[in-house]
Structure 1
Amino acid sequence: MTTEKHNTAMGGAHRFIGLAENLERHAGTPTAAEPPNVRGENRGYGLVFFHLEQYHLSTVISSGLRFQPLGADPAQELACTVYKEQAEAARHLVDVTSELLVQSGTHLVPDQIVPNENPLLPDTEFYGVLASGHPLFPPEFTRFTDPDGTEQLQVYTLLPVTLGELNYILDNGVTALRQQWARFEVDVFDLGRPSVA
């Protein structure tokens, strides 16, 4: 009886054994963490900061969305990778998107655009994010499986998109925008990058 209650309280946390090591293997060294109650009440997720020295990249990953009733199967967490100097902007993007999902009780799907009426970051043209696989890390970062090989978690990478790019997607689709990014060799990790549309 006690064991049964304990397992229920854990919310199936045993499914995610090895997740922290998997994230570290790809995203780099953990450098900081922000608890769920950083603003007072529990927002339902924390944030963990990673640094990958080899590429001078910082990745901010949510921690806790997988236990929220978002209707996602498999569960989800969010990530944003930028250059180290821009880590605070990545923190903001993951935070506001995670907060939106928790408040609305919904989840993301591949290539979903999450638009905003105003710039998501001050002094930029970024009006939304694109939910994506990671442009640099291998698929094992995006799709976490348990020891039996069953997929338990998807980590969606948030790629900031400009207002022009949002409109371009509406007219031409996400694949066309990715082709534009490739054509102009856009560095999607650089928040100072120009818009391609």
Structure 2
Amino acid sequence: MATEQQQRPVLGGAHRFVGLAENLERYAGTPTGAEPPNVRGPDRGYGLVFFYLERYHLSTVISSGLRFQPLGAEPAQELACTVYKEQAEAARHLTDLTCELLVQNRTYLVPDQIVPNQQPLLPGTEFHGVLASGHPFFPPEFTRFTDEEGVEQLQVFTLLPVTLGELNYILDHGVTSLRQQWARFEVDVFDLGRPSVA
């Protein structure tokens, strides 16, 4: 008699992600480049893929390979960061930094999780952390990728940069309240030159 482990497909099987590339392209736009896992030497366990949505002038950097790392996430995860085209290098940096942290610590993100940093993540800015979120512009199908049977296989968490003041605001009032402040002041979360609302 086969055990449950023998009956289940291998968790790391790439077959679970058939159609993922096309799905990401459908929402994030045209792929414009990629950074391999070994871009700085040893294999870091993930690559980065760059997309451009010309109609809205948005660049999105999405990790590729995080889903195969032993992070304990179920469903698997990849990370994305969307900014205006001129700020694409900053999105690359934020995505890479957060992926590296997850791989090193063998951990994963949960919705509305804050990943803080003592120093600014981007030179010359007040961004001291990122908020793991669904995408504020793309539909839910971007965030939650399902297989042909409709079973969720992957979550793509979008990293929204938050300032030190906003981090402290979240600690006092919660993520929902910060989102309300962003809506109240019509904050453009894709603009890394934006002012802090707290």
The TM-score normalised by the length of structure 2 is: 0.95
Cα deviation digits, residues 155-186 of structure 1 (max 9, x gap)? 00000000000000000000000000000000
- Gaps (5+ residues) in structure 2? 1-5
Distance 1:104 1:113 in 2: 16
The answer to whether structure 1 residue 82 and structure 2 residue 83 are counterparts is: yes
SS in 2 for 1:164: helix
Shift of 1:117: 0.6
CA distance in 2, matches of 1:76, 1:11: 12
Aligned mates of 1:43, 1:12 — CA distance in 2: 19
Q: Distance in 2 between matches of 1:54 and 1:139?
A: 20
- Equivalent residue number for residue 168 of structure 1: 169
Matched, 1:98 2:113: no
* 2:3 corresponding residue in structure 1: none
Kindly provide the amino acid, as one letter, of the partner of residue 51 in structure 1: Y
1:89 counterpart SS class: helix
Give the match's secondary structure for 1:129. Answer: strand
Q: Percent identity?
A: 85
Give the counterpart letter for 1:151 in structure 2: E
What's the counterpart of residue 72 of structure 1? 73
Q: Which amino acid aligns with 1:129?
A: V
**Which residue number corresponds to residue 36 of structure 1?**
37
Instruction: Report the Cα offset of residue 108 of structure 1.
Output: 0.1
CA RMSD of aligned residues (A): 1.3
Q: Residue 11 of structure 1: CA displacement?
A: 3.0
What is the rounded CA distance, in whole Å, between the counterparts of 1:77 and 1:136 in structure 2? 17
Instruction: Report what 1:177 is aligned to.
Output: 178
Q: Does 2:26 align with 1:60? A: no
Provide the residue aligned with 2:19 in structure 1.
Answer: 18
* Matching of residue 157 in structure 1 with residue 158 in structure 2: yes
User: Partners of 2:140 and 2:55 in 1: how far apart?
Assistant: 19
Which secondary structure state, in structure 1, belongs to the residue aligned with residue 98 of structure 2?
helix
Alpha-carbon deviations, 1:78-127, whole Å to 9, x = none? 00000000000000000000000000000000000000010000000000
SS in 2 for 1:193: coil
Cα offset for 1:15? 0.2
Partner of 1:188: 189
Partner SS state of residue 82, structure 1: strand
SS in 2 for 1:25: helix
Q: Using the alignment, how far apart are the partners of 1:11 and 1:64 within structure 2?
A: 10
Deviations 1:4-26 (A, max 9, x none): 9xx96x93100000000000000
Q: Which residue identity lines up with residue 22 of structure 2 in the other structure?
A: E
How much has 1:132 moved relative to structure 2? 0.1
Note the residue ranges of structure 1 that are not aligned, 5 or more in a row: none
Q: Distance in 2 between matches of 1:28 and 1:16?
A: 19
Which consecutive segments of 4 or more residues in structure 1 shift more than 6 A?
none
CA distance in 2, matches of 1:12, 1:23: 19
